[in-house]
A and B are shown apart, each in its own frame.
Chain A
Amino acid sequence: MAADLNIRITGGAGQGVHTVGAIVSRMVVLWGYHFHAIQDYMSRIRGGRNSYSVRIGSDPVRAGRDESDILLCLSPDHLPHFLPKLSKGGLALADTPSASPPVLAPPLKQMAVSAGSPILANMAGAGILACALGIPLDLLAPLLAADFKGDFLEKNRKALALGEEWAREHLGEAFRLPRAPSSPRVVMSGNEALALGAIAGGCKFAAGYPMTPGTGVLSVLADNGPAVGLVFEQAEDEIAALNMAIGASYAGARAMVATSGGGFALMVEALSLAGMLETPVVIALGMRPGPATGMPTRTEQGDLDFVLSAGHGEFPRLVLSPGSPEEAFDLAQHAMDLAEAYQVPAFLLTDQYLADTIVDMDPAKFDVRPVRRHLVRGTEVPRAENGRYLRYAVTGDGVSPMAVPGEPGVTVVAGSDEHTEDGHLTEDHDARIRMVEKRRRKGEALAQRTLPPLLSGPPNGDAVLIGFGSTKEVVEETRRILAREGIAVAAVHLRQVWPFPAKEMAEIAPRYDAALTVENNIGGQLARLIRRESGAEIAGTVSRYDGLPFTPETLAPEARKRIWEARSTRTSRTHGAKGAETSGS
């Protein structure tokens, strides 16, 4: 039988919860298994109640689980909170004075002190977990050596060994995983994959102001910038960040910013500037629950409407919504390319869940494409009759050849006022019409490149579950659960929400008795978008808005219920429609 084991490590900030989670995740990969790790943390520097859940499987794991099979509480006072979510037959570990099954009380503190420091309790816990899974410590040696150095490495090794020793005496073999053949796997979070994708896409300038969960993208760009000639600067505020990225883009650099909803709110005027100047720019927006400060470290998909409508005036934009770290890597390259090809702002719309999710992935899934620039240089720069370069030359598809300033013989004029083809401001109404229509044509050309939604499951049937962004893999696992129950259900993942793939959605949705969206928001923003853009009938939305991501075990029953309700409503409405016809309304 395929293994499916969920390990949850909890503790206060500063207790090394993350370190244990990262070690456990990586050791199971070397042992021939796969994992999905998700963190739930509070907005504070020390203390609080944080958890790191590692779901382990024989097959690639792409969603979390609410119940844990092994619970390691580094703060014993967290037990009452996490114990109700322990699975039947599960094991809880906490250093408490008295314990009865399912709780065992390893003397973590004592082991840590004998290893050299009370802070090593986490590593003693890791030793216990390794032993519980039947993974020998020598497999962990390179992982430890990568994380720690010198004397501290020795102490960590000792704590690990003490934990293992205790576990050998006190634990059974219930959670042992037989060794399986392992292959090389890329281990990354959604944020990390997105940032590397942007680098692969030729990003050479990035600016940002720290804001969870966008900061993770910025730190990868900052750390890896010098190696690829990418200039990163921490801006004084988000307003500066996007204005800087637009300035760099005007100067010919592929540029990006990363933020969350509140930071993006400050960028909105500059977004409109990018629309007017037609400067390419990529905006990575990791959503978190709002309004205002909301729940800073938790997840939500509440900014879809905001991103689609942000910015005064009318201008084209691209909004991509990756559903996994691999897709984030791929779409970040795509965003860099299309932003420049069509000279538009391009969004990478993620959320805290995807940003912080870590999984192991097939290296072959990471396609690094060569960067193809869409700039004109030297003799390619088109000239008007008077010899001048026209930055906003009116063209068939609305895309004007873009030259960079600073090259000999080229003068680039870009203005935020409405402008003539040469970039200088104008109040001429005919010129205004030409520019408005040029920008619109550019949007139409961009729409020709729309990525179609991804469909899995039967081509028609009882129901289709539709999501965008981070829900992709949860919806997919839910679909498989429902399919095993005999429900003919399909899943649709929208990796692009603007320009909206209206034709495809209008064609897909009616093939099922019920179409439902799955959204981490209360408003059903995607459902409204699909109805508005494609005219397709959407029966309703399965919503989650407590600040936490969906899991298949909570989504499946809710989806099952909603599919049943939607199908019965649809049947009664079909009958009712006949009645309406006779009443002439």
Chain B
Amino acid sequence: MLVSGIGQAAKLPHYVDVNVFDGLHGRALPAAAAIKMSNPAMTVVVTSGDGDIYGEGGNHFLHNIRRNVDIALFVHDNQVYGLTKGQPSPTSDAGWAGSLNRSGVISGPFPPLAVAIALGCGFVARGYAADVDFTADLMLQAIRFKGFALVDILQPCVTFNKKNTYQWYGRMAYKIAPEHDATDRMKAFGLALEWEERIPLGVLYRKERATFEELHPAIPGPPLHARETAPAIVREMLRKRTLALA
């Protein structure tokens, strides 16, 4: 099951033969979370861009990490709005100049991995589109992870982003050493803050906790579409609200 919002990255589900929910800009996560709550047996993956998830849908990004529904989120992070032709995105570096911001972005960039680790996201990783096998492995790990899993995928936009290019990433990016203890939240947070001089790739943080579906009193059981409503239960609810002499 693929769920997406709006943008170039959000069109991806239309090229894959799976169940698709392609909703509104920024609103993929609430829909995806509810689909998973409705039918926990489904594998639910959200695929969308940095503008969609970190900008328009920022509030849902924060609160669905807290919720910890078992879904994987892949963010195609190219640091630019491509579909609308070259405006800065929430992850654009300060000073980067694009359409609508010709003199350079004043706001600082949104740090998705640091935010995710701060909020207790159980699986936080960064991939890179130039290293397909490496990134595919991260995505697979995220899907298999029990709980909310984020993979931010660096993905140069060859048309509109002339700063964060393949050459630039080639200089900046490195793979996290195998001895990194991914259960150490402080170390993971340190890695998440690295950006100015070098950019770590791989799994920064990994720690399972109980999922929303496991903890919610009404979710365990058959999928919601298969549940019936016994009129007797409703009649009992009415009877409880009925006043009569003893």
> Residues of A with Cβ closer than 8 Å to B?
26, 29-30, 142, 182-188, 192, 196, 199-202, 204-205, 207, 224-233, 235-237, 239-241, 243-248, 250-253, 255, 269-270, 273, 277, 360, 363, 366, 368-371, 375, 404-406, 411-417, 423-425
Contact = CB atoms under 8 A, between A and B. Distances in A.
Leading 6 A-B pairs by shortest Cβ distance: A252-B225, A247-B31, A247-B34, A253-B224, A251-B38, A184-B244
Given A247-B32, A253-B224, 20 more contacts: A26-B243, A184-B244, A188-B241, A200-B229, A204-B224, A204-B229, A205-B38, A224-B237, A237-B59, A244-B34, A247-B31, A252-B225, A270-B27, A368-B238, A405-B42, A406-B19, A412-B19, A415-B14, A415-B20, A417-B22
Interface of B: 1, 3, 6, 11, 13-14, 17-24, 27, 30-35, 37-39, 41-42, 59-60, 62-63, 67, 216-219, 221, 223-229, 231, 233-235, 237-238, 241-246
Contact of B233 (A182, A228, A239, A244): A228
Contacts of B228: 202, 371
A250 B33 CA distance: 12
Given A205-B38, A363-B242, A425-B22, A231 B30 contact: no
A406 B237 contact: no
Contact of A185 (B24, B39, B233, B243): B243
Nearest to B232: A368
A30 B246 CA distance: 9
A230 B23 CA distance: 24
A253 B229 contact: no
A368 B224 contact: no
Contacts of B34: 205, 207, 233, 243-248, 251, 255
A413 B241 contact: no
Interface centre among A183, A252, A406 (most CB of B within 10 A): A406
A229 B22 contact: no
B31 A246 contact: yes
Given A273-B23, A405-B1, A236 B38 contact: no
Contacts of B21: 247, 250, 277, 414
Contacts of A188: 241
B15 to A, nearest CB: 9
A370 B60 CA distance: 36
Give chain B's interface secondary structure class. mixed
Nearest to B20: A413
Contacts of B32: 247
Nearest to A254: B224
A240 B23 contact: no
Nearest to A235: B30
11 contacts: A187-B242, A192-B241, A196-B238, A227-B237, A231-B38, A251-B224, A253-B38, A270-B27, A273-B24, A406-B39, A406-B42
Contacts of B37: 205, 231, 233, 248
Contacts of B233: 227-228
A236 B63 contact: yes
A183 B27 CA distance: 51
A253 B35 CA distance: 9
Contacts of A273: 23-24, 27
A417 B62 CA distance: 26
Contacts of B17: 411
Contacts of B59: 236-237, 239-240
B237 to A, nearest CB: 6
Contact of A269 (B14, B24, B67): B24
B24 A414 contact: no
A93 to B, nearest CB: 25
Contacts of A26: 243
